[in-house]
Structure 1
Amino acid sequence: MGGMDLGRWYFEKLKRKLGDGNQTKFWDHAWVGGEPLKVSFPRLYHLSNNREATVGESGRWEGGSWVWELKWRRDIREREREAVSSLTSIIANFCPSAGIKDGWEWTEAADGKYTTKSAYDVIKSRRNENTHHTADNWRVAAVWKTPAPHKSAVTAWRLLRNRLLTCDNLRKRGVLLREEDQVCQQCNDQEETGSHLFTTCAKAQEIWDEIQKWCGINMARPASTAMHWEMFSHCGKNKKVRRLLQMIWIGCVWMLWKKRNERIFEGKESVVGDFIQEIKARTWGWNRTFGVVDIDMNFVSWSSNDLISRLV
Structure 2
Amino acid sequence: MGDVDAFLRTLGSNLPSTENGDHMRWKLMNNGNFDIRSFYNKLRGPVPIIFPWKSVWKVKAPRRVSFFVWTAVWDKILTGDNLRGRGLDFVDWCITYRCNGETVDHLLLHCGNAYRLWSLVFRSFGISWVLPRSVADTLFGWWNWFGKHSSSIWNLAPLCLMWCLWRERNRRTFEDMESSIDQLLASFSGSLFDWSRAWGLTSSDFLPMFLSSLLCN
TM-score by length of 2: 0.73
1:277 paired residue number: 186
Letter of the structure 2 residue corresponding to residue 135 of structure 1: I
Taking a change above 3 Å as real, the CA distance of residues 159 and 281 of structure 1, as seen in their structure-2 partners, is: same
Letter of the structure 2 residue corresponding to residue 220 of structure 1: V
What are the residue-to-residue correspondences of 1:142-181 with 2, within 5 Å? 142-174=55-87, 176-178=88-90, 180=91
Q: More displaced, 186-195 or 256-265?
A: 186-195
2:16 paired residue number: none
Alpha-carbon displacement from aligned partner over 1:90-119 (angstroms, at most 9, x marks no partner)? xxxxxxxxxxxxxxxxxxxxxxxxxxxxxx
Question: CA RMSD, aligned part only?
Answer: 2.4
1:263 paired residue number: 172
Alpha-carbon distance in 2 for matches of 1:241, 1:156: 22
Higher RCO by CA contacts (8 Å cutoff, separation 6 or greater)? 2
Question: Displacement, 1:299?
Answer: 2.2
- For the pair 1:210 / 2:120, whether they are aligned, the reply is yes
2:206 paired residue number: 298
Alpha-carbon distance in 2 for matches of 1:141, 1:215: 21
Aligned length: 178
Question: Displacement, 1:184?
Answer: 1.1
Alpha-carbon distance in 2 for matches of 1:167, 1:140: 25
Tell whether the 8 Å contact from 1:168 to 1:192 is kept in structure 2 after alignment: yes
Tell whether the 8 Å contact from 2:54 to 2:143 is kept in structure 1 after alignment: no
Structure with larger Rg: 2
Q: 1:193 aligns with which of 91, 96, 103?
A: 103
Alpha-carbon displacement from aligned partner over 1:57-114 (angstroms, at most 9, x marks no partner)? xxxxxxxxxxxxxxxxxxxxxxxxxxxxxxxxxxxxxxxxxxxxxxxxxxxxxxxxxx
2:26 paired residue number: none
The answer to which structure has the higher strand fraction is 1
Tell whether the 8 Å contact from 1:155 to 1:254 is kept in structure 2 after alignment: yes
Letter of the structure 2 residue corresponding to residue 177 of structure 1: D
In structure 2, the gaps of 5 or more residues are 1-36
Identity rate, percent: 25
Tell whether the 8 Å contact from 1:219 to 1:232 is kept in structure 2 after alignment: no
Tell whether the 8 Å contact from 1:160 to 1:225 is kept in structure 2 after alignment: yes
Question: Displacement, 1:253?
Answer: 0.6
Taking a change above 3 Å as real, the CA distance of residues 309 and 244 of structure 1, as seen in their structure-2 partners, is: same
Alpha-carbon distance in 1 for matches of 2:160, 2:125: 13
Q: 1:230 aligns with which of 140, 143, 147?
A: 140
- For the pair 1:286 / 2:199, whether they are aligned, the reply is no
In structure 1, the gaps of 5 or more residues are 1-119
1:245 paired residue number: 154
